[in-house]
C-alpha cells in the first residue's frame, strides 16, 4: 500500500507492506540517521518524533504514521546547521560512540519544545528510554540543561 | 513477521466493529500503540486502526472521569483532573512507568485489551475501581476487574471510567522492579478511604506475581472498619504473604515475591500512617 | 590547573610543561557528524552503498552438547531469494581462535567456521545469505538438523571432575589439557606463599564467585563484505581489531592479504566484545561464493547468546599479614569459566592476577594460579577490565574483611601496603599476558591523593560504621582501590603516519581504532601539540588495513599510551623534516643527525628534545631559536613540493614500549539497603582516577562515567539466567537490565593528573579501570551497612535478603 508521511517537513509517499514498522521503512528510504538497535522498544536508539512526540520507530507500524508528521534527528539539525542541542551535546562531552545520540537528542527536543526550563530530574525522565552504554548519562543531562539555558536566553534557536 | 496484508483505518467505532465482525479471527485492532505482538501472530492478516475513531479524550463530569481508550499514558499523566483524582496516584505513575517512548505510545485501551504483563496501569485502575465502556454493536459498562477475569472477545474498549465516588480516597501504588524501566517483579495497588481514624473502604490489588492483576477482597476486609494504626497493617502484613498467589519466573522466585508482598504492606502502612500524621 | 563543576573535579599534582591543545576538552572530531546521525556506522554504509546486498542470518544450536548427525539444506536452498547456505560441509575446516589478539595467538585453536559438534546453546550450525532478512529467516526454519545429544558440562566446578563430558575431544592446539576440559592453566610463584601464610600472625581466606554479563554495545556486531573492481575482498566491520580480523580471515579462508582489506568505520561501542572475529569470516566467504555484497547484523538476542560475555570466575583469595597489617603473603586461585571456546581464556585469567596483586607490593610471597575450564555455556571473551574486574572483586572484598579482623580502617590497611612511586613488584616480571611479563617501576602515582579526596567526597569518617537508618533502610559506605595497565609492554605496537599539506595542515592516518572512545580526537590533539597548530589543521583517518599503518587495535587500555606514542613520534619526525627545510630557507645550519634521529616519546618529558634548541613550532610557523626569524609551514610545504629540492614531507613511525604505566583509582560509594526487600540503592558514587595527564578531560570523564555505569549494572542488575540445558532465558534488553538514565546514581569523578614520564604528553590510559570498583566498593558498603559479606555477584535483592534473613547463599 502507499502512504504519505511528512518527514522533516517534506511530504513523502512510500510503498509499504502493512506489517512493516516505521524504522525499517525510514532506513530503507535513506533516513539512515535513525539507528536501530534492539528492535523491541527497549533502548530508544530509534526514537523519532511523531507529531512532535518521541516514539520508538521500531514498534510503530508505519501505516499508523500515514498522514502524520515524522521528525528525525536530521530534521532537528545537521552538521552544517546544528541545533543548539546538538552543539551542546558536542560541547559537553555527551557524545562518545554516538550510536544512542540521535535518539537521545530527539527525546530531548520533544522535552524542550514544551518545557523550556526543565529540572535535571525532568530531563532524566523525558530521556529515560535512551540507553547509553558509553557516557554514564550525566554529560548528556548537562548538555540538555546547557541547551535549555541557551534557548531561554533567546540568542539561539 | 506475520502475513499482514491489509491495514484499515476505521472511521468510527461502528465501522471498526463491522469490519472486525466481517473478517473474523484474521483481524485485530490496532490501538495499543505497541503492536509488535500482532506482527508475530501468523493468523492475523488485517489490522484495524482505531486512531481515527475519536477515542483520544479525557472527559470529567459529575459522575467522574472517562478516559478514551486511545489516550496515551503521557496524556493521562498530564490531565489536571486525573492529577487530582485519588491523590493523583494514577497520573503520577502513568508518567513514570516504563520509559518515555512507551509512555507516549501506550494507550490505556491497549494495555487493558492485551493485559500486557509489564504494565502497572491496569492493576492500579482495578484498585481505583475503574469500569470499562465496551462496544460490540451496543455500549455497555462493566467493572474492569470483571472484564479482566472474563474477557469479551470482539468487544472494543471505548473508554475507562473513574467514578467520582472514589475521587477523595487515597490511591497508593508500590512496585518492586530491578531497574526503573523494568516491569514489576511485584505490583501492589491500593485504594483506601479513611475518615482520619478508621478506614471505611479498601481495595487491594496485587499483580506482577507473575501474571495479571487480581483483587484480594479478603485482605481488603482486614482494613475496613479498623483503626489507622501500625497494628492494623502489621496484622495485614502477616496474613498477606500466605494469601497472595505468587510464582517463580526469571525476575524472582515465589519465595522472594512473598517477601515483597510483606514489604508492599509495610510501605502502605508507612504511607497511610504518615499521611494521617 | 583546576576545573570544578558538579560531578567532575579535575586537579593536577606536580608541575609540567604548558600545552596549547593537550589537556583541553576540545570538541570530539566526529562529534557533530554523530550528533546529526550521519550514516557512518557499518549498516548505514551498507544500506547507502549496497541497497541490493544479501542479508545473512545464522542458525544456532538448540542443544548444549552433541554431534550433528545430518543436516539437510535442500529446502532452504530451494526457497526463492536464497543465494547461499553454509554449513560445516561446504566451508573451510581450518581451526582457529576468534580472539583478535597479537601473534603468536595466545588462545587455543578450538573454533571452526561451522562445526559438526555443537558445544553450547547458541553455537553456529549454519548460515543463510538471501535477498532479504525475512527470506533468510524463513530459510533458517527450512534447514533440517538432527543432533545426537550428549551430556553437557553446565557448571565450571564440574568441568575437571573425573568422568565429566569433554567439550573439546578433538584436543585443540594450544589448549592446556583438553582431556580434563582445561583450556588454560597458570601457576606463578614468588617466594613460598604457603610457608608465608603458615607463619603469618593473621590470615584470611575467602572464596568469591562472579557471574556472566554482556557488553551490550548499542550497535550489535555488524559486518559486510564486497568484492571491489580489482577482485579484492573488502570487509567493512564494527571491529576493534582490523589487523587481527584481516590476519584471521586470511588464514581461515586462505585468501592472501593482498586480496583482503578490512575497513573500520564509526563503531557503536565495543567494550571488548568487538575484539572478536565473529562474522567477518562469514560475510567475506559469502561475497566470495556469491559475487554479491553480503551483510550480517547480529540480532540483540544473538549478541547476548552467541557473541561474547565476561568470564565468570570463582576466586579463592588468601592474605597473610602481621598484627599491624603488614602484608606478607598473597595467594589467589582462579577457576575461570571460558564456556564452549577458549577465547581469551589464558590472558584474561593472567590479568586477574597481574593487574591486581602488584597493587599490594609489600607482600613478599605471592602465588597466582588458575585454570580456565571449558563448559557447554556461552563464550566469554575480552570485556572492559579483562579479568582484573573479577580479581578486584575478590581481592578488595577480602582486604576489607581482613581490616575488620585486624580492627583497622580499611583505608589505613591499604595505604600501608600499596605500591608507591619508585617501587616495583615482582609480579610485573613474573606474569605478563599469558607469558613472562616485563619489570616495571612506578614513575607516577596520585593514588594517595585519590584516596584522600575520595574519602572526603563520600564522607568516609563521618559515615563509616554508623549504620544510619532511614525507616526500614540502612546506610553504609565502602571503597576499593585499583590499577590497570597502559597496553601490553613489549607486545602491543602501534603506528601512525603524518603528511604535510601545502596550506600547513596535516593528514594523520592511524591504525588506532576509534570505537567511540574518542581516540581520533585525543591522538589528533597530541599531534597538534607537537606541530604547534590548532585542531582544525589536523585531519585524522582511522583505520583501514590498506590505507592506514598497523596497530594492534583498541584493547588492553593501549590506545592513549601506545598509539599516542606512535602519533607523538610521527609528529616529531615530520616536524623535524619541516625544520630541515626551514633551515635551508633561512640559510642556517642544522645537523641532519638531529633531523633523522628516531624521535623519542620521552623527549620533553624527562629531557629536552635536542632539536628544539634550534627551532620550534609556533602557530603554523617555524621560529629559529638562533636568529628569531620565522617562516610559515605553508611556505615550507610549497617550497618542498614545487620549488627546490622537491620531496614529500611525511613519515610513518611506530611505537612499542617496555613500559605499561598503570592508571590508578580509588572508588567510594554510599548505599542504602532496604531490609524488607534486600534492594541495594547506590546513593552516591565517587570515582577518583589518575591517568597521567588527561589529554581531553571531558573524554576522560566520559570513559570513567561509562565504565562506572557499566560496573554498577554488573554489580547490581546485569546477569544471565539459564535454563536447564545452559540456554540463556533473558536474552533481550527487556529481560537483561542495564542501568537506564534514571538508575544512574549521582556520580562524582575526580581526576588528579600526574605527569607520567614514559607517556605521550605525560598520559596513561583510562578505558578499563573505571569498571573495577563497583563490585568490591558496593560489597564493602553492604558489609558496612549490615555486617553481611556477600560472596556471590550480582548483589541482587534476593541474595541480599536471604543473607539478611541468615540464610546461607
Print burial letters for C28-49: b (CB count within 10 Å at least 16), e (below 16): bbbbbbbbbbbbbbbbbbbbee
CATH code for the domain defined by C1-17+443-486+661-809: 3.30.365.10
Answer whether residue C195 shows pLDDT above 50.
yes
Q: Which architecture, in CATH terms, is C42-150+215-305?
A: Alpha-Beta Complex (3.90)
Describe the strand order of the beta sheet including C615-618 as a list of residue ranges. Answer: C615-618, C621-624, C630-632
Answer whether residue B127 shows pLDDT above 50.
yes
Would the CB atoms of B35 and A40 count as touching at under 8 Å?
no
Confidence of residue A119 (pLDDT cuts 50, 70, 90): very high
Which cell goes with B209? 506475581
Answer whether residue B36 shows pLDDT above 70.
no
Q: What is the pLDDT of residue B154?
A: 75
Q: How far apart are CA C592 and CA C381, in angstroms?
A: 48
In angstroms, what separates the C-alpha of A4 from chain C's closest C-alpha? 22
Q: What is the pLDDT of residue B31?
A: 81
Across the B:C interface, residue pairs with CB atoms under 8 Å apart total 44
Would the CB atoms of C25 and A125 count as touching at under 8 Å?
no
Mean pLDDT of chain B: 91
Answer whether residue A54 shows pLDDT above 50.
yes
Identify the three-state secondary structure at position C292.
coil
Cell 603469618 belongs to residue = C200
CATH code for the domain defined by B58-166: 3.30.465.10
For domain A84-153, the question of CATH label 1.10.150.120 is answered with yes
User: Taking residues B3-17, what's their average pLDDT?
Assistant: 93
Question: If we measure between CA atoms, which residue out of A147, A115, A144, A117 comes closest to residue A130?
Answer: A144
pLDDT tens-digit map of B249-264 = 999 999 999 999 999 9
Q: What is the pLDDT of residue B257?
A: 96
Which cell goes with B119? 504494565
> What are the C-alpha distances in Å from C540 to residues A82, C384, C697?
22, 25, 20
* A contacts of C738 (beta carbons < 8 Å): 131, 133
Confidence of residue B4 (pLDDT cuts 50, 70, 90): confident
Q: Is C490 left (phi over 0), alpha (psi -120 to 50) or beta?
A: left
Higher local confidence (pLDDT), C470 or C396? C396
In angstroms, what separates the C-alpha of B59 from chain C's closest C-alpha? 32
In angstroms, what separates the C-alpha of C721 from chain B's closest C-alpha? 7
Q: How far apart are CA C770 and CA C711, in angstroms?
A: 8
Out of 3.40.630.10, 3.30.365.10, 3.30.1490.20, 3.40.50.2300, which CATH number does the structure's domain C492-655 have?
3.30.365.10
User: Taking residues C246-259, what's their average pLDDT?
Assistant: 98
Domain assignments of chain A as residue spans, ordered by start: 2-76, 84-153
Q: Is residue B263 within 8 angstroms of chain C, CB to CB?
A: yes
Which cell goes with C540? 585524522
Domain range A2-76, CATH class = alpha beta
Higher local confidence (pLDDT), B211 or A25? A25
Q: Is residue A9 within 8 angstroms of chain B, CB to CB?
A: no
pLDDT tens-digit map of C114-173 = 999 999 999 999 999 999 999 999 999 999 999 999 999 999 999 999 999 999 999 999
Q: What is the pLDDT of residue C602?
A: 85
pLDDT tens-digit map of C696-743 = 999 999 999 999 999 999 999 999 999 999 999 999 999 999 999 999
Which cell goes with C684? 552516591
Confidence of residue B35 (pLDDT cuts 50, 70, 90): low
Neighbours of chain A (3+ CB pairs under 8 A): B, C
Domain assignments of chain B as residue spans, ordered by start: 6-49, 58-166, 170-276
Could you report the predicted ipTM of this complex, rounded to two decimals? 0.98
Would the CB atoms of A128 and B34 count as touching at under 8 Å?
no
Highest averaged pLDDT of the listed ranges B1-10, B96-105, B148-157: B96-105
Which residues make up the CATH 3.90.1170.50 domain(s) of chain C? 42-150+215-305
pLDDT tens-digit map of C553-575 = 999 889 999 999 999 999 999 99
Confidence of residue B33 (pLDDT cuts 50, 70, 90): low
Chain C nearest-CA residue for B258: C677
Q: What is the pLDDT of residue C1?
A: 46
Answer whether residue B247 shows pLDDT above 70.
yes
State percent of chain C over pLDDT 70: 99
> What are the C-alpha distances in Å from C68 to residues B151, C178, C726?
46, 21, 18
Would the CB atoms of A63 and B49 count as touching at under 8 Å?
yes
Residue in C31, C49, C542, C689 to test binding to A, most A beta-carbons within 10 Å:
C31
Please, how many CA atoms are within 13 Å of residue C691, restricted to the half-sphere of its CB? 31
Residue C474: CB atoms within 10 A of its CB come to 20
Return the CA Rg of chain A: 15
Chain A nearest-CA residue for C515: A97
Q: What is the pLDDT of residue C547?
A: 97
Would the CB atoms of A136 and C709 count as touching at under 8 Å?
yes
Answer whether residue C2 shows pLDDT above 80.
no
Mean pLDDT of chain C: 97
Q: What is the pLDDT of residue C451?
A: 98
- CB-CB contact of C705 with C749 (8 Å): yes
Q: How far apart are CA A112 and CA A147, in angstroms?
A: 9
The third-level CATH classification (topology) of the domain covering C169-211+312-436 is Aldehyde Oxidoreductase; domain 4 (3.30.365)
User: Taking residues A102-108, what's their average pLDDT?
Assistant: 98
Residue in C741, C742, C744, C750 to test binding to A, most A beta-carbons within 10 Å:
C741
| Sign of the dihedral through C-alpha C577, C578, C583, C584 | positive
Q: What is the pLDDT of residue B213?
A: 86
Would the CB atoms of B36 and A41 count as touching at under 8 Å?
yes
CATH code for the domain defined by B170-276: 3.30.390.50
Q: Is residue B249 within 8 angstroms of chain C, CB to CB?
A: no
Q: What is the pLDDT of residue B276?
A: 42
- CB-CB contact of A22 with B69 (8 Å): no
Question: If we measure between CA atoms, which residue out of C465, C475, C310, C472 comes closest to residue C377?
Answer: C310
Q: Which residues contact C63 (CB under 8 A, 6 or more apart)?
A: C118, C121, C147, C149, C725
Confidence of residue C6 (pLDDT cuts 50, 70, 90): confident
* A contacts of B7 (beta carbons < 8 Å): 1, 18, 61, 63
List the beta bridge partners of residue B29.
B48
Low-confidence winner among B148-157, C245-254, C690-699 (lowest mean pLDDT): B148-157
User: Taking residues B104-112, what's their average pLDDT?
Assistant: 92
Q: Which residues contact C686 (CB under 8 A, 6 or more apart)?
A: C454, C457, C458, C667, C668, C669, C747, C748, C750
Confidence of residue C537 (pLDDT cuts 50, 70, 90): very high
Amino acid at each position: 500500500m502507499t502512504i504519505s508521511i511528512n518527514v522533516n517537513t517534506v511530504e513523502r509517499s512510500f510503498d509499504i507492506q502493512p506489517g512493516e514498522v516505521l524504522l525499517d521503512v525510514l532506513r530503507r528510504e535513506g533516513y539512515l540517521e535513525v539507528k536501530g538497535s534492539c528492535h523491541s522498544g527497549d533502548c530508544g536508539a530509534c526514537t523519532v518524533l511523531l507529531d512532535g512526540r518521541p516514539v520508538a520507530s521500531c514498534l510503530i507500524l508505519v501505516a499508523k504514521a500515514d498522514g502524520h508528521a515524522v521528525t528525525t534527528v536530521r530534521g532537528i539539525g545537521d552538521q552544517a546547521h546544528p541545533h543548539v542541542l546538538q552543539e551542546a551535546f558536542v560541547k559537553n562531552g555527551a557524545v562518545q560512540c554516538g550510536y544512542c545520540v540521535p535518539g537521545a537528542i530527539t527525546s530531548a527536543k520533544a522535552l524542550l519544545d514544551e518545557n523550556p526550563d526543565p529540572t535535571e530530574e525532568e530531563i532524566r525522565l523525558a530521556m529515560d528510554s535512551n540507553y547509553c552504554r558509553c557516557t554514564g548519562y550525566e554529560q548528556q543531562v548537562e548538555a540538555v540543561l546547557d541547551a535549555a539555558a541557551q534557548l531561554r536566553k533567546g540568542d539561539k534557536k | 513477521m506475520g502475513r499482514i496484508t491489509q491495514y484499515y483505518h476505521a472511521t468510527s467505532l461502528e465501522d471498526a466493529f463491522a469490519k472486525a465482525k466481517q473478517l473474523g479471527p484474521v483481524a485485530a485492532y490496532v490501538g495499543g500503540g505497541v503492536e509488535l505482538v500482532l506482527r508475530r501472530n501468523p493468523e492475523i492478516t488485517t489490522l484495524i486502526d482505531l486512531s481515527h475513531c475519536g477515542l483520544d479524550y479525557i472527559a470529567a463530569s459529575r459522575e467522574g472521569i472517562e478516559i478514551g481508550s486511545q489516550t496515551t499514558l503521557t496524556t493521562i499523566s498530564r490531565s489536571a483532573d486525573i492529577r487530582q483524582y485519588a491523590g493523583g496516584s494514577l497520573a503520577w505513575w502513568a508518567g513514570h512507568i516504563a520509559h518515555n517512548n512507551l509512555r507516549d505510545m501506550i494507550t490505556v485501551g491497549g494495555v487493558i485489551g492485551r493485559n500486557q504483563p509489564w504494565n502497572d496501569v491496569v492493576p492500579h485502575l482495578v484498585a481505583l475501581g475503574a469500569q470499562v465502556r465496551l462496544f460490540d454493536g451496543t455500549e455497555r459498562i462493566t467493572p474492569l476487574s470483571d472484564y479482566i477475569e472474563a474477557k469479551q472477545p470482539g468487544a472494543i474498549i471505548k473508554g475507562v471510567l473513574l467514578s467520582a465516588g472514589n475521587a477523595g480516597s487515597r490511591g497508593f501504588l508500590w512496585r518492586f522492579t530491578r531497574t526503573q524501566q523494568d516491569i514489576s517483579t511485584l505490583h501492589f495497588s491500593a485504594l483506601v478511604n479513611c475518615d482520619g481514624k478508621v478506614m471505611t473502604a479498601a481495595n487491594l490489588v496485587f499483580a506482577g506475581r507473575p501474571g495479571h492483576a487480581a483483587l484480594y477482597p479478603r485482605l481488603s476486609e482486614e482494613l475496613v472498619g479498623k483503626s489507622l494504626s501500625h497494628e492494623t497493617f502489621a496484622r495485614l502484613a502477616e496474613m498477606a504473604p500466605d494469601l497472595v498467589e505468587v510464582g517463580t519466573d526469571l525476575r524472582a522466585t515465589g519465595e522472594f515475591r512473598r517477601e515483597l508482598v510483606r514489604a508492599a504492606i509495610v510501605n502502605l502502612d508507612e504511607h497511610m500512617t504518615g499521611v494521617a500524621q | 590547573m583546576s576545573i570544578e563543576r558538579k560531578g567532575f573535579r579535575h586537579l593536577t599534582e606536580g608541575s609540567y610543561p604548558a600545552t596549547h591543545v593537550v589537556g583541553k576538552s576540545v570538541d570530539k572530531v566526529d562529534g557533530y557528524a554523530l550528533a546529526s546521525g550521519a550514516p557512518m556506522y557499518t549498516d548505514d554504509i551498507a544500506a547507502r552503498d549496497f541497497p541490493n546486498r544479501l542479508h545473512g542470518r545464522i542458525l544456532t544450536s538448540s542443544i548444549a552438547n552433541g554431534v550433528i548427525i545430518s543436516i539437510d539444506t535442500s529446502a532452504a536452498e530451494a526457497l526463492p531469494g536464497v543465494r547461499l547456505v553454509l554449513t560445516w560441509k561446504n566451508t573451510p575446516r581450518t581451526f582457529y581462535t576468534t580472539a583478535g589478539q597479537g601473534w603468536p595467538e595466545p588462545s587455543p585453536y578450538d573454533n571452526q567456521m561451522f562445526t559438526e559438534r555443537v558445544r553450547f546453546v547458541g553455537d553456529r550450525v549454519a548460515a543463510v545469505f538471501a535477498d532479504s532478512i525475512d527470506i533468510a529467516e524463513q530459510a533458517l526454519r527450512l534447514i533440517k538438523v538432527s543432533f545426537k545429544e550428549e551430556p553437557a558440562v553446565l557448571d565450571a566446578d564440574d568441568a575437571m571432575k573425573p568422568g565429566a563430558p569433554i567439550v573439546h575431544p578433538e584436543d585443540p592446539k594450544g589448549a592446556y589439557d583438553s582431556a580434563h576440559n582445561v583450556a588454560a592453566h597458570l601457576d606463578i610463584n614468588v617466594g613460598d606463599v604457603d610457608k608465608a601464610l603458615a607463619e603469618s600472625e593473621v590470615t584470611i581466606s575467602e572464596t568469591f564467585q562472579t557471574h556472566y554479563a554482556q557488553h551490550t554495545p548499542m550497535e550489535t556486531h555488524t559486518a559486510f563484505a564486497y568484492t571491489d573492481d580489482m577482485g579484492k575482498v573488502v570487509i567493512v566491520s564494527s571491529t576493534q581489531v582490523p589487523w587481527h580480523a584481516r590476519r584471521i580471515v586470511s588464514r581461515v579462508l586462505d585468501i592472501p592479504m593482498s586480496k583482503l582489506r578490512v575497513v573500520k568505520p564509526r563503531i557503536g561501542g565495543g567494550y571488548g566484545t568487538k575484539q572478536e572475529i565473529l562474522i567477518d569470516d562469514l560475510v567475506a566467504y559469502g561475497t566470495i561464493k556469491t559475487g554479491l555484497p553480503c551483510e550480517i547484523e547480529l540480532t540483540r538476542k544473538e549478541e547476548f547468546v552467541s557473541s561474547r560475555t565476561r568470564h565468570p570466575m570463582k576466586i579463592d583469595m588468601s592474605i597473610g599479614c602481621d598484627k599491624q597489617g603488614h602484608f606478607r603473603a598473597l595467594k589467589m586461585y582462579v577457576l575461570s569459566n571460558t564456556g564452549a571456546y577458549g577465547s581469551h581464556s589464558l590472558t584474561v585469567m593472567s590479568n586477574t592476577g597481574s593487574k591486581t596483586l602488584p597493587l599490594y607490593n609489600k607482600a613478599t610471597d605471592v602465588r597466582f594460579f588458575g585454570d580456565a575450564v571449558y563448559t557447554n555455556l556461552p563464550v566469554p571473551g575480552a570485556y572492559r577490565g579483562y579479568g582484573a574486574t573479577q580479581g578486584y572483586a575478590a581481592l578488595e572484598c577480602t582486604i576489607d574483611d581482613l581490616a575488620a579482623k585486624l580492627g583497622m580502617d580499611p583505608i589505613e590497611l591499604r595505604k600501608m601496603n600499596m605500591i608507591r612511586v619508585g617501587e616495583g613488584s615482582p609480579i610485573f616480571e613474573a606474569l605478563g599476558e599469558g607469558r613472562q611479563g616485563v619489570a616495571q617501576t612506578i614513575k607516577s602515582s596520585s593514588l594517595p591523593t585519590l584516596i584522600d579526596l575520595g574519602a572526603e567526597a563520600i564522607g568516609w569518617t563521618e559515615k563509616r560504621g554508623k549504620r544510619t537508618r532511614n525507616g526500614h533502610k540502612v546506610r553504609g559506605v565502602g571503597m576499593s582501590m585499583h590499577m590497570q595497565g597502559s597496553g601490553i609492554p613489549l607486545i602491543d605496537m602501534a603506528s601512525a603516519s603524518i603528511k604535510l599539506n601545502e596550506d600547513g595542515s596535516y593528514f594523520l592516518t592511524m591504525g588506532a581504532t576509534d570505537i567511540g572512545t574518542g581516540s581520533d580526537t585525543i591522538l589528533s590533539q597530541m599531534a597538534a601539540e607537537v606541530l604547534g597548530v590548532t585542531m582544525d589543521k589536523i585531519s585524522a583517518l582511522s583505520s583501514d588495513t590498506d590505507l592506514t599503518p598497523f596497530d594492534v587495535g583498541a584493547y588492553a587500555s593501549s590506545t592513549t599510551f601506545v598509539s599516542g606514542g606512535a602519533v607523538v613520534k610521527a609528529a616529531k619526525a615530520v616536524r623535524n623534516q619541516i625544520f630541515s627545510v626551514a633551515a635551508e630557507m633561512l640559510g642556517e645550519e642544522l645537523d641532519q643527525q638531529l633531523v633523522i634521529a628516531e624521535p623519542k616519546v620521552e623527549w620533553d618529558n624527562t629531557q629536552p628534545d635536542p632539536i628544539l634548541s634550534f627551532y620550534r613550532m609556533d602557530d603554523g610557523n617555524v621560529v629559529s631559536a638562533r636568529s628569531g626569524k620565522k617562516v610559515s609551514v605553508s611556505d615550507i610545504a610549497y617550497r618542498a613540493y614545487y620549488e627546490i629540492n622537491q620531496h614529500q614531507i611525511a613519515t610513518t613511525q611506530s611505537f612499542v614500549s617496555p613500559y605499561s604505566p598503570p592508571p590508578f583509582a580509588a572508588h567510594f560509594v554510599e548505599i542504602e539497603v532496604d531490609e524488607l526487600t534486600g534492594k541495594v540503592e547506590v546513593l552516591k558514587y565517587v570515582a577518583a582516577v589518575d591517568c597521567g595527564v588527561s589529554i581531553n578531560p571531558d573524554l576522560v570523564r566520559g570513559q570513567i562515567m561509562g565504565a562506572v555505569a557499566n560496573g554498577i549494572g554488573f554489580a547490581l542488575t546485569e546477569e544471565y539466567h539459564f535454563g536447564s540445558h545452559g540456554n540463556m532465558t533473558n536474552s533481550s534488553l527487556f529481560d537483561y537490565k542495564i542501568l537506564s538514565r534514571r538508575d544512574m546514581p549521582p556520580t562524582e569523578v575526580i581526576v588528579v593528573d600526574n605527569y607520567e614520564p614514559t607517556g605521550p604528553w605525560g598520559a596513561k590510559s583510562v578505558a578499563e579501570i573505571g569498571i573495577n570498583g563497583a563490585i568490591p566498593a558496593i560489597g564493602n558498603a553492604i558489609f558496612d551497612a549490615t555486617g553481611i559479606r556477600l560472596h556471590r555477584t550480582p548483589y541482587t535483592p534476593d541474595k541480599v535478603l536471604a543473607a539478611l534473613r541468615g540464610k546461607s547463599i
